[in-house]
Each structure stands twice: as structure tokens, then as C-alpha cells.
Structure 1
Amino acid sequence: MDRPSTAARDAAGERAAAEPRWLDDEEQRTWLAYVHASTLLEDSLDRQLQRDAGMPHLYYGLLVQLSAAPRRRLRMTELARGSKITRSRLSHAIARLERSGWVRREDCPTDKRGQFAILTEEGQEVLRQTAPGHVEAVRQALFDRLSPEQQKSLGEIMRIVAEGLQPKEAGADLPWLR
């Protein structure tokens, strides 16, 4: 039996490497269900927070991060990293939260370019008032629809996906590091 030449094998390997690994029918159904559900979930939570607190879900997440931080303060770069948003988008969001009186900025004494975002007492109170409705919305939208086993599986799956997407190298070109 004749073996293909090295050039023929290399060409076939290049074609195989260039060919996309298309999703099969079940993978496609799973992917589309994920995209549809995650879009609807984010929209539902965003509408609830707009209705109850006059802020989008992203802003609520920023307030939660600040609330959990020591002295309710974080450097803007850390807040951007934790939120997975660009520093520019964060700056805009913090400006809106400042106008509401929920956050204030403070210059970093050890770094002339650095700033802290600090959760104000008013911001902490907004969180205290908003959290019960938000957690109920999360329960109704997600957890009440799943069995305990499904909840555990979902948590495990999301941790695996997040871990696989976390950059391994320090200099990764990520939007929230720009």
C-alpha cells in the first residue's frame, strides 16, 4: 500500500487544522439554550434593579464589590478587574454612582495616577434596601427552577468554564486591564 508523500500529509494536516470544529446538533442546541437563557436572565435582573433601585445590574455589582471590600473601598483598577469591564466603562459607571451619592472617589496617596472608589453610607443603604428584592429575583429566575442536584452541577460547570477562561499569563491583553 502506498503511503502519501510528506508534502501530501502536511497539506492534509493543514486543511484539517484550518477546518473548524463545528458544533454537532446537540452542542448547537446546548449553546443556543445557554445564550438565550443567559440573555434573558441578565435582562430580567437588569429590569428588576432598574425598577427597584434605578440602576442597571452592572452598577449593583459594583456596589456589592465595594460593600464586600475592606473599609468599603477598592482601587479603580481592582474594581475594573473584578467587574470584567474596561477602566473607561468603569469610570463612567462610577461617575453616575457618584452623582447618585452612592460612591465617592479618593486619590491614592501612594500613586498619583491611582484612585479609590468608596461606597458611601447612602450607597450601603441602597444596597441594604435593594438586596432582598434582588435575591428574590435571582431565586425566581434561576434557583427555584432547578433541583438541588442541577444547582450543584450548574455551579461546577460554571467554575470549570470560568477557570478555563481565566488568563494564565500576567500580561494578558484583557479589556479590564486596559
Structure 2
Amino acid sequence: MDRLSEKELTAWRLFIKAHAKIIEFIERDLAVQMKVPLTTYDVLIALFEAPDRRLRFSELNRKVVLSKSGLTRMIDRLEREGLIQREKSEEDRRGAYAVLTDEGENQLRKAWPIYARGIKQYFAASLSDEEVETLTRSFGLIYQELQSSEEIEGKNHERK
């Protein structure tokens, strides 16, 4: 295994600490304004951006940062709150979709201004335009590499 340089380890630790602190502050701001928490927002925005505002549960699971059991509990809660609804798949009797409701979209839109302000205040305000471009390139490269690795792993898994 390759050893981490001190610079790499420092960058990683600062990334993790900054991410955790930004999320903590945005979560606090959303709670103070009595808006949906970020985990709920994450599910709602994934559905909002999906075709017909619906996703199979397996697709939704890949788009959000929750464990499978965590997502199941979240879906149950969001359905009880009227923010999403379940829809049986016509093609696959065992499959089901999570579908964004009008109330879910309404709650998403109410949370966005607080979330956007948090991104600006706790993340972007500390950075110059050049630094934002550097981070965008850097995170883009990391994400692209991870996506490629995931696709290769998926193909290898299919062969087995």
C-alpha cells in the first residue's frame, strides 16, 4: 500500500473537518427555520431532478448518502409526512418507485433559500473565484475517477 504524504493527510483531514462543520451549520440553520433536514432534502432533490420526479428505490439509494436500511426508514417517514408516495412498478411486480408529491416539492422549495445561503456563507464566501475553480476541477477529477472505478467494479460483478 502506498504511504500517504503529510500534505495528503492534512488535505484529507481538513476536507473532512470542513465538510462536517459546514453540514452542522446548515443543519442548524434549517432546524432554526423549521425546514426539512439535509437528509430529507437530499432525498427530495434526487426525486425532483429525476424524470417524472420518481426513482426506483435502488436508483434513489445510489443517489443519496444513506444506508439501505436508513433509506427505507426515511422513505417510510417521508411517506407518512406526505412528501413522497410509493408507486408499484408496472414492469416488475417486486419493484417500486418513490415519487415526489406536491407537498414534497413545496418543502424542498422552502428549504432551498436557507440551504443556498448556508452554502454561500459557510463554503463559498471564504474562497476566491480562482479557488472555487480549483476545487471544482479537483473534486471533478476525484469524482470522475470514483465513477470510473464504480463502473469497472459493476462490470466485474456482472461477469461473476
TM bin (shorter chain): 0.7 to 0.9
Evaluate the alpha carbon distance shift between residue 76 and residue 68 of structure 1 in structure 2; reply closer, same or farther with a 3 A threshold.
same
The 1-side partners of 2:68 and 2:44 are apart by 16
Q: Which residue of 2 aligns with 1:131?
A: 112
Q: Which residue of 1 aligns with 2:151?
A: 168
Q: 1:163 corresponds to which letter in structure 2?
A: Q
Please give the per-residue CA displacement for 1:116-149, whole angstroms capped at 9, x wherever unaligned.
1111111111111111111111111111111001
For normalisation by structure 2, the TM-score amounts to 0.86
Match of 1:63 among 16, 20, 44: 44
CA contact (8 A) 1:74 1:118 kept: yes
SS of equivalent to 2:55:
strand
Match of 1:142 among 117, 123, 134: 123
The 1-side partners of 2:15 and 2:67 are apart by 25
CA contact (8 A) 1:76 1:87 kept: no
CA contact (8 A) 1:53 1:126 kept: no
Displacement after TM superposition at 1:28 (Å) = 2.5
Q: Which residue of 2 aligns with 1:24?
A: 5
Percent identity between matched residues is 31
The 2-side partners of 1:123 and 1:68 are apart by 13
The 2-side partners of 1:91 and 1:114 are apart by 14
The 2-side partners of 1:42 and 1:172 are apart by 35
Displacement after TM superposition at 1:47 (Å) = 2.4
Please give the per-residue CA displacement for 1:14-65, whole angstroms capped at 9, x wherever unaligned.
xxxxxx4332332232222112111112222222333334533121011011
Displacement after TM superposition at 1:171 (Å) = 4.8
Task: Within 5 Å, give how 1:19-168 maps onto structure 2.
Answer: 20-166=1-147, 167-168=150-151
Unmatched 5+ stretches in structure 2: none
Q: From the CA coordinates, give the structure whose radius of gyration is larger.
A: 1
Q: Which residue of 2 aligns with 1:16?
A: none
Displacement after TM superposition at 1:110 (Å) = 1.0
SS of equivalent to 1:113:
coil
The 2-side partners of 1:87 and 1:112 are apart by 20
SS of equivalent to 1:110:
coil
The 2-side partners of 1:85 and 1:38 are apart by 16
SS of equivalent to 2:151:
coil
Q: How many residues align?
A: 154
The 2-side partners of 1:84 and 1:51 are apart by 23
Please give the per-residue CA displacement for 1:90-139, whole angstroms capped at 9, x wherever unaligned.
11111111121111111111111111111111111111111111111111
Displacement after TM superposition at 1:76 (Å) = 1.1
Q: 1:31 corresponds to which letter in structure 2?
A: W
Root-mean-square deviation (CA), in Å? 1.9
